[in-house]
């Protein structure tokens, strides 16, 4: 293959469009900053809590429909050991958005938090919240990596552009416009990107479905042809793993800062709810083209194409099956349109991850711990430096692994098993405190590492019921172990928080490391004062009634 010059021209035009939109949004951000009464950091991170409803829907959808979403669904559908029933992403995301809209948005908005970690910092203190920020930051870095991997693989297949160049160019463009305008730039570029994703993917589908090298996908859905049926199956002994993956994707997304950044940027709780519900529908629609691409790839006689044999799966290129299908099963101009969809999806997710991690570090670590007196100007520079550091870290990780699903699942895994139970407890259970949180945190990490992970070659030290070799010869847990770890972590937080509150109350105050007594006492005093005021008011009412009765009788 030679360098695809027309494709490069189209991609250059796409990047210029996105960069131009980001620059325009940055000017809009500066105008808004002059009108808004909030500080500069809040405008940069939350768009002044006044983002447009339609823009909010687009940016939330685009954040979830990233390169990992598009390529991961196609990869799972095509993979003969998985199939479409394992391409779970669109359906669990509906549950993510509905739960977020109904339950998690209200406490976050009512308390006017800036980041997801604010309730931890207020309730547990700086030490414990700093510890909990680490897995959230790591998850964001992995998010950046998986989005770049998806684009690098696509560009190298279709444009014959070296993998390294593809990743570096995309990373730089995303960092530049994120640095310029914060959430305003991210949100408005997401609008352009989501429109491009929708149009590009659906334009490619008819050409793929009618290509001469593939059988009708309705014939290969349940019949063995060139490989196993693309619909796939969930056997009874696999049901636990399927349920575990479903819950991982559905609840793990609720522990991402990027989700709450969109919720907190809405002008009202009602708008936040509408944003969540509308985005869930868009995710379903945008997941269909990737399933069809994977189905077509599974129905293709690759020996009759220029790609030849072995198949993409046998060459360990299942993660790049979408760009491979576009390159060898559609006309050249259609494959270029397809890469535009992937590029748009990658940029829309990467900028969200960059700003998400920058929010956590700048607000919860730098502003609240290191430099409480930091000015708005200083915080703007901290945010910019954080964006660059996270971008560089995520870019570096892309050279370690080329599978989109690896970065996808490992990142969401950390959010689900470690962060989600912590978030539930701090928002909805008053009994939770820092002592229980640290026990739950350690339990979650230890149990998760001891359970193993075949995607990164980590063998299990704990074998749950049903643990056995999978179709690829890897020792795999088929029990819903991640859900079990999440529940065990949650119960540990509540149990040890309750025990700690009892024990600490009977010990000298100097032994209370996390000062939970100091946080509980004002509440108790306030309740006692309120009770006294109520009793005093009742006594005054009784006295007045008695005086009135005496006057009447006289």
pLDDT (tens digit per residue) in 512-531: 887 776 555 443 434 344 44
pLDDT of residue 437 exceeding 50, the answer is yes
pLDDT category, 127, cuts 50, 70, 90? confident
Neighbours of 172 (CB within 10 A): 12
Return the HEC string of 119-161.
HHHHHHCHHHHHHHHHHHHHHHHHHHHHHHHHHHHHHHHHCCC
Q: Find how far residue 348's CA is from the centre of its chain.
A: 12
Looking at residue 39, what is its pLDDT? Answer: 64
Return the HEC string of 211-239.
CCCECCHHHHCCCCCCCCCCCCCCCHHHH
Which stretch of 59-68, 258-267, 296-305, 518-527 has the lowest confidence by average pLDDT? 518-527
Percent of the chain with pLDDT over 90: 42
pLDDT of residue 31 exceeding 80, the answer is no
Looking at residue 139, what is its pLDDT? Answer: 83
Rounded distance, CA 114 to CA 260, Å?
9
Which stretch of 177-181, 298-302, 535-539 has the lowest confidence by average pLDDT? 535-539
| Residue 343: burial class (beta carbons within 10 Å; 0-12, 13-18, 19+) | buried
> Residue 67: which of 162, 139, 160, 167 has the closest Cα?
167
Looking at residue 11, what is its pLDDT? Answer: 80
pLDDT of residue 532 exceeding 80, the answer is no
Q: 458: which strand partners?
A: 453
Percent of the chain with pLDDT over 70: 88
Looking at residue 32, what is its pLDDT? Answer: 63
> Which of 121-144 are b and which e, b meaning 16 or more Cβ less than 10 Å from the residue's Cβ?
bebbbeebbbbbbebbbbbbbbbb
Which is higher by pLDDT, 34 or 230?
230
Rounded distance, CA 69 to CA 287, Å?
8
- Residue 193 contacts residue 186 (beta carbons within 8 Å): no
Rounded distance, CA 146 to CA 144, Å?
6
SS3 347: helix
Which stretch of 59-73, 127-141, 344-358, 537-551 has the lowest confidence by average pLDDT? 537-551
Mean pLDDT, all residues of the chain: 84
| pLDDT tens string 386-411 | 989 988 888 887 777 555 556 666 77
Mean of pLDDT values over 220-231: 94
> Residue 325: which of 291, 362, 361, 364 has the closest Cα?
291
Cα dist from 428 to 127, 271, 420, 489, 507, whole Å: 21, 22, 12, 15, 27
pLDDT category, 16, cuts 50, 70, 90? confident
pLDDT category, 80, cuts 50, 70, 90? very high
Mean of pLDDT values over 176-197: 81
Mean of pLDDT values over 194-199: 87
- The residues, ordered by sequence, that sit 6+ positions from 299 with a Cβ below 8 Å of its Cβ are 214, 215, 216, 217, 219, 220, 225, 226, 230
Cis-peptide into 126, omega within 30 deg:
no
Rounded distance, CA 277 to CA 98, Å?
6
pLDDT of residue 126 exceeding 60, the answer is yes
- Residue 325 contacts residue 234 (beta carbons within 8 Å): no
Sign of CA dihedral 397, 398, 402, 407: positive
Which is higher by pLDDT, 83 or 177?
83
Which stretch of 192-196, 445-449, 469-473 has the lowest confidence by average pLDDT? 469-473
pLDDT of residue 40 exceeding 80, the answer is no
- What size, in residues, is the chain? 554
Looking at residue 409, what is its pLDDT? Answer: 65
pLDDT of residue 450 exceeding 50, the answer is yes
- Residue 360 contacts residue 136 (beta carbons within 8 Å): yes
pLDDT of residue 29 exceeding 70, the answer is no
pLDDT of residue 27 exceeding 60, the answer is yes
End-to-end CA distance of the chain: 111
- Out of 47-51, 115-119, 162-166, 175-179, give the one with best mean pLDDT: 115-119
């Amino acid at each position: 293959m030679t360098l695809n010059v027309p494709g490069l021209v189209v991609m250059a035009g796409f990047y210029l469009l996105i960069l131009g939109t980001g620059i325009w949004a940055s000017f809009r951000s500066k105008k808004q900053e002059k009108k808004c009464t909030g500080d500069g950091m809040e405008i940069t991170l939350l768009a002044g809590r006044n983002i447009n409803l339609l823009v909010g829907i687009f940016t939330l959808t685009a954040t979830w429909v990233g390169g990992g979403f598009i390529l991961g669904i196609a990869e799972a559908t095509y993979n003969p050991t998985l199939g479409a029933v394992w391409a779970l992403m669109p359906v669990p995301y509906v549950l993510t958005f509905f739960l977020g809209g109904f339950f998690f948005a209200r406490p976050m908005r009512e308390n006017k938090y800036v980041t997801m970690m604010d309730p931890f910092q207020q309730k547990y203190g700086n030490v414990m919240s700093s510890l909990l920020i680490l897995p959230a930051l790591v998850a964001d870095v992995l998010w950046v990596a998986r989005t770049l991997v998806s684009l690098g693989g696509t560009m190298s297949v279709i444009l014959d552009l070296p993998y390294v160049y593809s990743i570096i160019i995309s990373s730089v463009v995303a960092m530049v416009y994120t640095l310029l305008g914060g959430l305003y730039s991210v949100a408005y570029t997401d609008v352009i990107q989501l429109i491009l994703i929708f149009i590009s993917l659906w334009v490619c589908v008819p050409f793929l479905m009618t290509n001469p090298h593939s059988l009708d996908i309705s014939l290969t859905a349940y019949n063995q042809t060139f490989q196993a049926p693309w619909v796939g199956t969930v056997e009874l002994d696999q049901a636990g793993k399927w349920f575990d993956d479903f819950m991982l994707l559905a609840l793990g997304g609720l522990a991402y800062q990027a989700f709450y950044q969109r919720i907190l940027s809405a002008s009202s709780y009602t708008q936040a709810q509408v944003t969540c519900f509308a985005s869930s529908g868009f995710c379903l629609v945008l997941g269909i083209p990737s399933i069809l691409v994977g189905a077509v790839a599974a129905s293709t006689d690759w020996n009759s194409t220029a790609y030849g044999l072995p198949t993409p799966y046998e060459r360990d290129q299942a993660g790049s099956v979408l760009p491979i299908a576009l390159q060898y099963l559609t006309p050249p101009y259609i494959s270029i349109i397809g890469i535009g969809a992937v590029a748009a999806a990658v940029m829309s997710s990467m900028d969200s991850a960059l700003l998400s991690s920058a929010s956590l570090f700048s607000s919860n670590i730098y502003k609240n711990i290191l430099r409480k007196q930091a000015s708005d100007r200083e915080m703007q520079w901290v945010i910019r430096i954080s964006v660059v550091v996270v971008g560089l870290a995520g870019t570096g990780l892309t050279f370690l692994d080329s599978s989109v699903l690896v970065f996808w699942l490992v990142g969401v895994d950390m959010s689900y098993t470690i962060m989600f139970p912590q978030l539930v407890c701090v928002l909805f259970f008053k009994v939770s405190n820092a002592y229980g949180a640290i026990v739950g945190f350690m339990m979650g990490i230890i149990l998760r590492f001891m359970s193993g992970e075949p995607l990164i070659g980590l063998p299990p030290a704990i074998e749950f019921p049903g643990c056995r070799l999978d179709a690829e010869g890897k020792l795999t847990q088929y029990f819903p172990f991640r859900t079990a770890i999440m529940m065990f972590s949650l119960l540990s937080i509540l149990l040890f928080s309750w025990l700690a509150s009892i024990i600490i109350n009977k010990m000298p105050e100097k032994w209370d490391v996390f000062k939970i007594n100091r946080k509980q006492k004002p509440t108790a005093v306030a309740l006692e004062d309120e009770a006294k005021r109520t009793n005093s008011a009742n006594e005054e009412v009784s006295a007045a009634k008695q005086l009135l009765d005496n006057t009447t009788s006289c």
